[in-house]
Structure 1
Amino acid sequence: MAKRRARNIDDRTIIQVVGLLDGWAGKLSWDLLVDEIEKRLGIHYTRQALDKHARIKLAYQTTKQRLSNAPRLQHRKKSYSQELVPTLERLERLAAENARLKAENEHMLEQFVTWAYNAYLKGLTKEYLNSPLPLVDREVTKVTRGRSTNGRV
């Protein structure tokens, strides 16, 4: 039987994968991440599919850097009481999330500078770029009687 294609990676999946990376401890590789995603979410994605998404790629790189620079909690667990270990793990997870969010923010700022420069080259003014979006008419469209709708009324 042929393997079914995994569903597309949506925003919800990206948030789950990034959250998984925020709490990651131990060795990290694309293969280990793919296996963990399959185990937790029940979906098999390829490394290439995950790497295509900027937030996942950035979270992966940030996690790799964090793991290579930070001392492992597992080595310190023995010196702390068992009641304190969950709190320390939560602090490490929050610190990892904070580092990832800082990296994402830096990436967004770089993107904004690129857009601002390109807009400047095209002669777009700050006022034009800051003009509000048009309002969306969310009222129900009324169908007028007698109008042809392919034989249906």
Structure 2
Amino acid sequence: MVRRGKNLTDDAIEQIVRLLDGWEGKLTWEALIDAIVTRLHCRYTRQALHKHERIRTAYALRKKSLGRQKDTAVSRGSGPLADAMARIARLEAENQRLEAENQRLLEQFVVWAYNAHTRGLNKEFLSQPLPRVNRGQTETSKLAKTTTGKR
């Protein structure tokens, strides 16, 4: 039984973009959704997948790449050479996707840097380390005293 997809986590998104990196054959949203059901055992809608920038970009890049590969298709056959060619194609697709993601992050950084500058925030202020997280356990008896006023 296929259940409704829970909210997409970073791990699920990573698995989906890796699935797209190695995609062979015709790529459609329906085919991708079926492959995700097989891999993640959850069904997501095209709209839910399209809402995530990494998935949308990976899909578009892979679709474009597959269109170019179709024009220059070479019979791959089987054996070690075919396996190596498939691995190279997957790694090239992954590299192309990562370059696009990196470019998008660099553009986002430029926007943040500009907005910080317009607010008068300098590099030293922005580079301050995060505050330490106190992971100590609270004492339940002290907590109960302060919240209920009893004991």
Say if 1:63 and 1:96, in contact at 8 Å, map to a contact too. Answer: yes
**1:1-153 equivalences in 2 (<5 Å):** 5-71=4-70, 75-78=74-77, 82-144=79-141, 147=145, 150=148
**How many residue pairs align between the two structures?**
149
Q: Which amino acid aligns with 1:53?
A: H
By how many angstroms is 1:4 displaced? 5.5
Superposed CA RMSD in Å reads 2.6
Q: 1:19-51: per-residue Cα shift (whole Å, max 9, x none)?
A: 110000121121221122123322111000001
Say if 2:3 and 2:42, in contact at 8 Å, map to a contact too. Answer: no
Say if 1:55 and 1:104, in contact at 8 Å, map to a contact too. Answer: yes
Ranges in structure 2 where 5+ consecutive residues have no aligned partner: none
Q: How much identity, in percent, do the aligned residues show?
A: 48
Q: 1:61-110: per-residue Cα shift (whole Å, max 9, x none)?
A: 111121122357963314xx622111111111111111111111111001
Summarize the Cα distance change of 1:72–1:16 in structure 2 as closer, same or farther, 3 Å threshold: farther
Query: Is the helix fraction higher in 1 or 2?
Result: 2
SS of 2:76's equivalent? helix
Say if 2:33 and 2:46, in contact at 8 Å, map to a contact too. Answer: yes
Say if 2:54 and 2:101, in contact at 8 Å, map to a contact too. Answer: yes
TM-score (norm 1): 0.84
Summarize the Cα distance change of 1:144–1:38 in structure 2 as closer, same or farther, 3 Å threshold: closer
Counterpart-to-counterpart distance in 2, 1:140 and 1:107:
40
